[in-house]
Structure 1
Amino acid sequence: MRLRSLTTAAVLAAGLVAGSQPAHAAGPAVKITKIYYDSPGSPDNGANKSLNGEYVQLKNTGRTSVNLKDWTVRDETKRPDHVYTFGRLTLKPGRTITLRTGRGKDTGTTLYWGRSGGGTFAYIWNQTRDTAYLRNAAGKLVDSCSYNSSARDYKIC
C-alpha cells in the first residue's frame, strides 16, 4: 500500500516538474470581468453619453498576449445587430479593454460598439436580466457572465 502511494506521488511530481497542469486549472485567458447595464439616462433617450455609460469589460488574466481579431461579444438575444466583432486587437497580459455601446474613437483601452439613437433599441444590455457571451474567432465559447437584478447598475463577473 505504501509503495503504491509513493509511486503515485512520484508520477504526480514528475508531471508537475515537466510543467503539466491539471485540466481543471486551465481556464479562459480572456474573461468578462464587468457589465455595466443600467447607464444613467437609459432606456428613454438613447443619447450617446447614456449609450456609452453601458459597457462590458474584458481582461486578459493569462501570461501571454491574446489576439482578439474576429472574436465576438453578444448578449443573449439572437439579433444580429447585438454582436460586436473585434478587429485587429492584441490584449496583453493583465490588461483590460472596455467595450462601450455607443459611438466614439477607439483607443488602446476603450472600444465603441457604434450604436446610436433610437431610444431603447440602441442599447445592448437589458436593465434587469441578460447574459454576455465571449467567443473566439472559431466561435467557441470562451466566457459568459449573467445578471438578474435591478438592485444595481452593474455586475462584477
Structure 2
Amino acid sequence: MRAAMRVGIGAAAAGLAAVVLTATPGTAATPAVHFAGIQYNAPGADTTRNVNGEYVKISNSGSRAVSIRGWSVRDAAGHRYTFPTYTIKAHDSLWLHSGKGRHTHRTFYWGSGWHIWNNNGDTATLRDTHRVHDTCRWTRSTSSGWKTC
C-alpha cells in the first residue's frame, strides 16, 4: 500500500514538522490463506472417471500455521466442502479434488460423483464461519482449464 505524506500547517507554522500518513486506495493484499489456483476443467471430456482432474490449490503464504477446521470452499451454485480438523503450515499448500478418494496429508477429496466447477465460468469462495478469506473467479474456459488466482 502506498502512503502520501503531508506536513501539518499548524505544526509547520510552529517550526515543527508533523508527518501525516494517509492511505491511497490500491490493490488489496493477498490473504495469508488463499486460492493459489483452480483446475476447473479436467483433462478430456467430463465423465465420472475424471472428476478428480478438477482440483483447487490452497496456499498459506503467511509466516504462521493456520487451522482451517470448519472452513469451506463453495462454488457459485452453493456446492460446499467443509474441511475437517487440519492446520496448513506456513508457506505450504493443500489440494482439494472434486471427486472421491481417501484424504492424505495435504490432499483432500470433496466426495462428489460429478464435476463441481463450471468450465465456462464460476466463482470459488474460501471462507470460515465468520468471513470470506478469498475468492477466485473465471468467466470462460482456457485451453488448459487452469485459473491462477
Instruction: Give the TM-score of the pair, scaled to structure 1.
Output: 0.76
Alignment partners' CA distance in 2, 1:46 and 1:3: 72
The structure number with the bigger radius of gyration is 2
> What residue number does 2:37 align with?
34
- 2:90 corresponds in structure 1 to 93
Cα pair 1:36 1:154 within 8 Å, conserved:
yes
More strand by share: 2
Distance in 2, Cα, partners of 1:57 & 1:34: 5
Structure 1: gaps of 5 or more residues: 13-23, 117-121
Match of 2:139?
Answer: 148
Tell me the C-alpha RMSD between the 2 structures.
1.9
Letter in 1 for 2:71: W
Change (3 A) 1:85 1:42: farther
Residue 69 of structure 1 contacts residue 137 of structure 1 at CA under 8 Å; is this kept in 2?
A: no
1:128 aligns with 2:114: no
Q: Which protein has the bigger helix share?
A: 1
Distance 1:101 1:88 in 2: 19
TM-superposed CA distance for 1:110, in Å, is: 0.7
Length-normalised TM-score, structure 2: 0.80
Q: Considering Cα pairs closer than 8 Å and 6+ residues apart, tell me whether 1 or 2 has the greater RCO.
A: 1
Task: Return the letter of the residue paired with 1:109.
Answer: R
Sequence identity percentage: 38
Aligned to 1:110, which of 96, 107, 110? Answer: 107
